Each structure stands twice: as C-alpha cells, then as structure tokens.
Amino acid sequence: LTHHRWHPTRPTSPADRAGIDHVVLAFAQANNTAAYQPKVPVSTIRSEFPNAKIMVAIGGWGDTAGFTEATRTDAGILKFAGDVKGLLASTGADGVDIDWEYPGGNGADYKEVPNSAKVHEIDGFPKLLSAIRTAIGPSNLLSIAVPGKKGDMIAFTQKTGPLIWPSVDYVNVMAYDLMNRRDTVTAHHTSIKGAKQAIQNYLAIGAPASKINLGFAYYAKYFTVAGACTTPLGCPIVAAEDPVTGKDTLTSGAWTFETAHMNPVNTSSLIVSTDGTCGPEKGTKCATGCCSQYGNCGVSKEHCSGACQHAFGTGCLDADVAGSWQIAKAKGVADEKQGGQYYYDASNQLFWTWDTPEFMASKFKAIVEKFGLGGVMAWSLGEDSAGWNHIRQMGKEIEKYDGPAVDPVAPSVYAAAASADVPVPVTSSKSYHVVYVDGVGGPGAEATTLATVFSANGKGAAQTAAVGGKEYPVVPVGGTKGTRKPADEEDEGSDWEWAWYNQDGSFWEGRKA
C-alpha cells in the first residue's frame, strides 16, 4: 500500500492492517532523490507495520523532469542510480518504487513537452532500472508503478518488456484512472473489465504474472456532464482539460474515502475560521468567500471552483461535489456487466465512478486468481480512513489467496500460417512465457527467459519448440492472421481466456478460460 504524506491517517487496529506486507512512502522527487527524508520516519512506519517491507516511491504524477534528464546519458543514469542507493542508506528503507508517469510521454506536461521530445526515454527506462538494480543489489526491493491505460504504455512493448522485467521485483499496475480528464465521454475509472484488460496488456508483453500486482483506488472520480444524459455510461462531458495547455479545467476530480468526505456535514456545529483554514477536518467555515477543496478561504477561481466546499463558505461557482457524493454513495448503481459502481446525479450534472468492496472481491476471483498474479496494491493508505472498508476487504481476499504458481504451467504453442512476427499467447494464465512464431522456418530455440522466440513452419505438419528448456508441440492453425484481442471485447459475457480474430473481425481461434 502507498502512504501519501497529504493523507497521513494510518490504521491502528491489527484487523485493519492484516495482509499489508509492503508500505510505500510517497514521494521523493525525481530530480532531488538523494536529499529525500520522509515526513514520517521509516522507523515509525516499521514499528506500526513490523512484518512489512518499507519502500520509498520516487516521482508521481507531474514529476518527470528528473527522469527525463537522467535518461539522456549513461552518466546521468549512473548518477540517478547512485542517488537511489544513497536514499536507501539515509532513510533505512528496504527498497524503492519508480513511479514515472510515464516514460516516453503522455505525462502531465504532454502539451508543453511533446512525446517526440521524449523518445530517448523508451530505451533509457530499462537501462535506468538495470542501473538501479546493480546499485542497490539483490537484497533491496525495486518496483515500478505502470500505467493502466494502453495508450500510456509507450515504453512498455514487446521489445522493451524483456529488458524491464528482470530488474524489478514487482510491477504495480495502476488499473484505475482508466477514465481521466483527457477523455470525452463518461466511463468507469476502474472496473473488472477495465482492470482485466490492463493486466492482459502486460501479460501479453511478457510480464511474469508472479511479479504483477493489481492496483486498486481508494477514491471515487467525478466528471461534469455536458447537457442531458439518459444513459450515464457514454455521456459527453464538459472538457476537463484545457486543449492548449493541458491544465485542469476544474470540472472533474477525485473524492477519497476519508472520514471527512464520507460523512454528511453538521453545519450547526461549525465555527468561523480565524486563520484562513476551513473544512470538515478543521470544523471551521470562512467568514467570507469560498472554502477551497484544499481547506483554504479565498475568492479566486481556484478557491470557488473544483470541488469548492459549499457547506464551509459562500460564493462557490461549481456544483456541490460533497453533497452530490452523499447522494451517489447512497444511490450508486452496480454495473454487473463491466464490474464497476457508478451514479449520475442529474441535479448537479455530475457523473461518479468508483470501486466498492464487493467489486474488489470480484476482481480477486476474476483477475488475481485467474491469472495467478503476485498480489495487489492500492493508492493510497490514508484515503480509506472512513472505516477502512476497502483495506479490510483486500486483507480478507489476500488471506484466502494461495498466491501465484511457483513453477510455470506447461504451455501449448500455436503457429500461425503467416509471415512476420505474430504474438501468440500461452494457453495457461500461470505461465511466465510469451511466445512468438514467424511462420517461415523450422523449429528453433529459446532466445530469452521472459519472451521465448522460436520458428515454426505453420504449414500443416506438427512441430516442436523449446520453451523453458523443454519441448512442446506446435499446433498449426489455419486461417488468415488478423489481430489478437481479449475475447470479451468482441463477445460480451463469453468466458474465453484469449482469442484470435481474422482481419475481417470474425473469430479464428481461441482458448476457454
């Protein structure tokens, strides 16, 4: 679990801490890593979570400049790795989490610094991880936080994947924020279907299932709907991002599951603020002006928009987000088809999307157990302080989970009757291999541990291929090679683990889960 300095509350009951075996302190700055000292000392966190490894996250949303500069040169990479080693020595932490959002581009500054200026990061990212691993040694932990949206996986490809996975202990897939302010219509920001697709994207490029942790979010997201909306999913939203600068237009946001957000406000007990701070945590209201979402009194647009706290001031320009959440929480709709919770508050024109403990439990069965993942992670610890319901649910599910298979299950290998490299998935979700065929030559040999490459003629005669040092049959498959997609994208409600589709979109070959 990630522990963020701006959401400092931590569970005190052993029941609420059950199953937490890693606590990641956020964030050290990417351009000043060596100087980092956590707001709460590692020793304090270790005393509260005695059975957990304590790590430090480097980066976070909007903090990319340090990574960009470091990966320009080999010297920069070595210096960064040395700074990470120094951070571990000075803090006493057990490892680091590289939270670069995102190598190759699409970060917070993508309008100011185009992706074309970040091409060097794609090759630099695996080199950086390798250098960090060398610097900190095998006894310290190294994890990466990776994007859940496929469009942001610029540096995570068939080519780079095999260079990334050997360096890291964990791959923390942020299977949330799948709808964000760059989208134009309402959708789940996290759901079973969306999270499953995110995990499959990494399995498809060779990420070992045993290293993957499925990410959960301890917050809801809201978006302002444009005009009338009769079908809450798929409704156009008011532009949530400035098309020129990429800045937040303050029409959307996140709403955590913290005590101050989850309970209705008792306005009768509020007193007037004397220091300019306001909100439920302070129990104070502004004498004049707006109470911003961050708990400060003022009259600027930033104070009076973007989740302005209506109950704690006057003059808010936007919808009553806090009041709307109380309605959404009580009347939320369970989307059993996609596996996510949502609500459209027509009176405030706000669309809400979030994860419930029930859907979290379903994700364990549908994703964690199905693919044999290493575990789960969440952002962030203090954001679930109103009862710790989501953390408790994760603890219960982890206790029931047997964990990933120790040894890969033998895959069946398929060869496509086509030239050019064609990715073919292994048929077992427990396997650590991604297999390729080129459809031209005879049987070949294993090339790497994580991404096995071999040749097969695919012309009708059964062949064998070396995978993991063993021989397995290659089963020729007829038809015209098209694209591989998760079967449930095409066949809603089906139980296919994977499938191939012809170029015309028709079903070609698949494997039942």
- The DSSP annotation for 327-339 comes to HHHHH-EEETTTT
What whole-number distance in Å separates Cα of residue 353 and Cα of residue 371?
25
Query: Left, alpha or beta for 295 (phi > 0: left; psi -120 to 50: alpha)?
Result: left
Sheet holding 53-59, edge to edge: 2-4, 22-28, 53-59, 95-99, 141-147, 170-174, 212-217, 375-379
Residue 101, token pair as written in the block? 């959002």
DSSP one-letter string for 14-46: HHHHTT--EEEEEEE-TTSGGG---SS-HHHHH
Distances (CA, A) of 119 to 45, 75, 122, 154: 38, 18, 6, 9
- Give me the mean pLDDT over the 301-328 stretch: 96
Contacts by 270-274, CB closer than 8 A, 24 or more apart: 270/311, 270/312, 273/297
Cα distance between the two ends of the chain: 30
> What are the residue ranges of CATH 3.20.20.80 in the chain?
2-216+356-400
Q: Which CATH superfamily is domain 2-216+356-400 in?
A: Glycosidases (3.20.20.80)
Query: Which pLDDT band, with edges at 50, 70 and 90, does 53 fall under?
Result: very high
Q: What is the pTM of this model?
A: 0.81
Mean pLDDT of the chain: 83
What type of residue is 348? N
Lowest pLDDT segment from 13-17, 35-39, 83-87, 263-267: 263-267
pLDDT for res 348: 96
- Give me the mean pLDDT over the 70-91 stretch: 98
Residue 389, token pair as written in the block? 């319901």
Rg, Å, the chain Cα set: 24
Asked whether the predicted pLDDT for residue 383 surpasses 80, the reply is: yes
Asked whether the predicted pLDDT for residue 354 surpasses 90, the reply is: yes
CA angle, corner 86, sides to 82 and 89, nearest 5? 145
Kindly provide the b/e burial profile for residues 58-74, where b requires at least 16 CB atoms within 10 angstroms of the residue's own CB. bbbeebbebbbebbeee
Lowest pLDDT segment from 236-250, 296-310, 483-497: 483-497
pLDDT for res 510: 46
Q: Which residues is 464 bridged to in the sheet?
A: 473
* Percent residues over pLDDT 90 in the chain: 75
State phi, psi for 364 to the nearest 5 degrees. -60, -50
Q: Which tens digits make up the pLDDT trace of 186-235? A: 999 999 999 999 999 999 999 999 999 999 999 999 999 998 898 999 99
- Give me the mean pLDDT over the 288-306 stretch: 96
